[in-house]
Amino acid sequence: MNVVIIGCGVIGATIAYELSQVKGLKITVCDRQPPAQASTGAALGVLMGAISQKIKGKAWQMRHTSIQRYETLIPELEALTGRKIPFNRQGILSLCLEDENLQAWEKLVEIRHSQGWHLEIWDTAKLQNICPQVDIYDGLRLHKKITGAVYSPQDRQLDPTALTLALVEAAQQNGVTFKFGVAVLDAPNSTPESYPQFCNQLETREGKIVADWFVIAAGLGSTPLTAKLNQMLDIRPVLGQALQMRVGHPLGNADFQPVITGNDVHIVPVGGGDYWVGATVEFPSNGDEIPPNRELLESIREQAIAFCPELATATILRTWSGLRPRPEGRPAPVIGKLPGFSNVLLATGHYRNGVLLAPATAYAIREMIVSQGVGNGEWGVGG
């Protein structure tokens, strides 16, 4: 059975690797760009599972499944490929600001405990003792006072580009064919007389690609692709900016370097005294064009300095931006059959959670293909 995956960001690459372990499948991945471009290449790779406020339904199940899978997936890929995938196992520390509802956090701690997960609420004394780099006194007056923190030891952070390249190499070892620089031009010869339709082939710059299953995992590129099939999925861009800052040494305790997050600003240790800081959330104001707003990026930097004042001395090594794929008028992500088609699957529109939800997305797509698509059709999950 032939499967064609369109898109080789973290979603497409994870699907390709998981499907490569299913006997009897011949898998081809097409992308008009090299792997790990677009939103994957810009992502910070912060995996907020247990510390997220999603507590039930598919939104939590996908997080739960993915966080668990990463514990086995990373060593598995490293063993197969010999590549090192930066994977921070020291957890996520979420700073609590004044006016924040501590009772909601206490309730989440109880819920996670009942689900077999561990969260800790730290008071300011414990926070200062374990993470002395955090300024609980708010000397810069740039944010609300820090009143404590919630520590999630089982959540993770990884390098999305390194992960995606390892997934591609491991999938290649398992026989997957990758075609980069190949854009889909058209979708001729579906079967309009039948319902649901069956997509026979796609027209690309390299000619026709015939398959039994097509998986659209192209992020923002999914909109024009689905339009060619007369079932346009409306996915809009949301820009995010981030920066890499070099302090030259670890902040606080060198042996304890979790991701620190507060007020939707992430401070991500990436080794060598370097930190990723981000990210902005910028919506298009006119059409789909979103020029990066430098003032917003500066406000993110200032917020990070307010949390960890030593960052004020850091050198900015680089800044970057990327466009996140956000489904319009529906929950993110979109996973399931393209309406009207029996063999076209969607795995797209993950918005800000593509890296986090990639393993669970791949499991869902694999199940749909292995079970011949028997199920409840389209599956929208709150992101």
Over residues 173-223, the pLDDT tens digits come to 999 999 999 999 888 756 656 678 999 899 998 899 999 999 999 999 999
In this prediction, residue 93 carries a pLDDT of 98
CA distance 239 to 285: 11
Query: Model confidence over 303-354: pLDDT tens digits?
Result: 999 999 999 999 999 999 999 999 999 999 999 999 999 999 999 999 999 9
**pLDDT-above-70 percentage for the chain:** 93
Domains in the chain: ranges and CATH: 2-84+159-234+328-380 (3.50.50.60), 92-153+237-324 (3.30.9.10)
The bridge status of strand 46-47 relative to strand 156-158 is antiparallel
Query: Model confidence over 9-66: pLDDT tens digits?
Result: 999 999 999 999 999 999 999 999 999 988 999 999 999 999 999 999 999 999 999 9
Say which residues have a Cβ less than 8 Å from residue 280's Cβ, sequence separation at least 6.
Answer: 239, 240, 241, 242, 292, 293, 296, 297, 300
Q: Are 332 and 350 in contact (CB under 8 A)?
A: yes
Q: Is the pLDDT of residue 136 over 90?
A: no
**Which residue bears the tokens 């994977």?**
87
DSSP per-residue codes, 148-185: EEEEETT-EEE-HHHHHHHHHHHHHHTT-EEEES--EE
In this prediction, residue 383 carries a pLDDT of 36
Whole-prediction pTM value?
A: 0.94
